[in-house]
Amino acid sequence: MGVFVEAYYNLLLESPLFKALNVGELPQMLECLDARVRSFTSKQYIIHENDVTEDIGVVLEGKIQINNIDAMGNRSLTGKLGVGEVFGQVVAANLSATNPVSVVADTNCQILFLKFHKLVAPCSRACSFHSRVIENMMSVLADKNLMMNRKLSILSQRSIREKLLTFLSWQYQDKKSNKFSIPFNRDELADYLCVNRSALSREISSMVNEGLITTHRNNFIIHQKLESI
């Protein structure tokens, strides 16, 4: 495992969980946190809804989806995560809680698993990097909270257009450009917004015809007219 993980050292140093560390600290850190790497194929479940886990995961290759299925079988897509991003930290922090969402491989992927309690607990070795990793985890949790607040804000909008406008405005702010790609295809966007796919397509077509946006697949251009809405 050690040689295999070593191939990802540069990637790990760019992950928000490991920023401000240096490459010489990684071997000891990975040992302290009981690091393991697992491979998953596209559509394979990484964590099932209602699982109890003490692991957090870092995406080394590929992409994953965070979603849940309601009692009627409808899927709600919370988000997609890519290389370097972290998942599972909220549930791992409370071992008595079950996971409220499922984590599914969106593509073939490699996942690094770490023991959350070893990350946040005092280290018997007094590792110099430990406090920095804890600080990084607080930032990761803050980003996760922002993501969930955004999703709640979208769900609070009454119409499909209002949900879509809220989503696109955040993409515009994050990318600092009126031209951007979103991480979802049309079906996934409908699941993320919790709306009917056909109704969403009709709304997007209406917005295109009104000159508010231009779009092709997952690429969008927001026109000045929309920026003032």
Rounded mean pLDDT, 52-76: 87
Q: How far is CA 16 from CA 11, 20, 100, 129, 137, in A?
A: 10, 9, 23, 14, 8
For 153-175, write each residue's pLDDT tens digit. 999 999 999 999 999 999 999 99
pLDDT of 124 reads 64
Which domains are present in the chain? Answer: 2-144 (2.60.120.10), 157-227 (1.10.10.10)
Angstrom distance (rounded) from CA 33 to CA 1: 14
Rounded mean pLDDT, 165-192: 94
pTM of the model: 0.86
Asked if pLDDT for residue 33 goes beyond 80, the answer is yes
Q: How do beta strands 102-105 and 64-69 pair?
A: antiparallel
pLDDT of 94 reads 56
Angstrom distance (rounded) from CA 66 to CA 85: 12
Angstrom distance (rounded) from CA 180 to CA 215: 10
Name the region of 42 (left: φ>0; alpha: ψ -120 to 50; beta: rest): beta
Asked if pLDDT for residue 91 goes beyond 80, the answer is no
pLDDT of 52 reads 80
For 119-129, write each residue's pLDDT tens digit. 877 666 656 77
Share of the chain above pLDDT 90, in %: 59
Angstrom distance (rounded) from CA 187 to CA 117: 37
